[in-house]
């Protein structure tokens, strides 16, 4: 059995959370998108659940999810898109949510365009 350091596992889980926030999807939906991106087919629910439960319980991130999360964050960085610092920029919750929606939509379009090519 290969042991991973908690720092690496936590970093991977943090990247998953960031990618889900950027795309404005749940972490489970990110699992679905990552699985389809990696394997080229839609995942069966039992396949996703068997990968999702170790993630929820232990923070274990499958390689295909790690790849998708990193790719999403890299595309965001390359495009110069950054999530705004909500505490510094947003006066109200609605302003913050609107800002996130705009950035999420822009990144979503860039991810979809990369998947089509």
Does residue 25 lie in a domain region? yes
Integer CA distances (angstroms), 96 to 85, 86, 99, in order: 9, 6, 5
Does residue 79 lie in a domain region? yes
> Phi/psi of residue 2, each to 5°?
-95, 125
Name the residue range of residue 108's domain: 6-116
Does residue 14 lie in a domain region? yes
Distance CA 86, CA 98 (A): 11
Could you report the per-residue pLDDT of 20-76, keeping only the tens digit for each? 888 888 999 999 999 999 999 999 988 889 999 999 888 899 999 999 999 998 888
Q: Which residues contact 12 (CB under 8 A, 6 or more apart)?
A: 59, 61, 66, 69
- Report the domain count for the chain: 1
Q: Is the pLDDT of residue 80 over 80?
A: no
Confidence (pLDDT) at 2:
41
Confidence (pLDDT) at 40:
92
Does residue 1 lie in a domain region? no
């Amino acid at each position: 059995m290969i042991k991973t350091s908690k720092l690496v596992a936590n970093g991977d889980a943090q990247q998953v959370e960031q990618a889900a926030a950027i795309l404005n999807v749940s972490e489970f939906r990110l699992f679905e998108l990552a699985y389809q991106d990696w394997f080229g087919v839609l995942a069966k629910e039992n396949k996703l659940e068997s990968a999702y439960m170790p993630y929820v319980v232990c923070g274990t991130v499958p390689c295909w999810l790690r790849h998708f999360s990193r790719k999403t964050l890299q595309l965001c960085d390359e495009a110069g898109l950054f999530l705004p610092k909500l505490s510094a920029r947003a006066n109200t919750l609605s302003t913050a949510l609107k800002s996130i929606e705009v950035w999420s939509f822009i990144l979503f379009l860039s991810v979809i365009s990369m998947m089509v090519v």
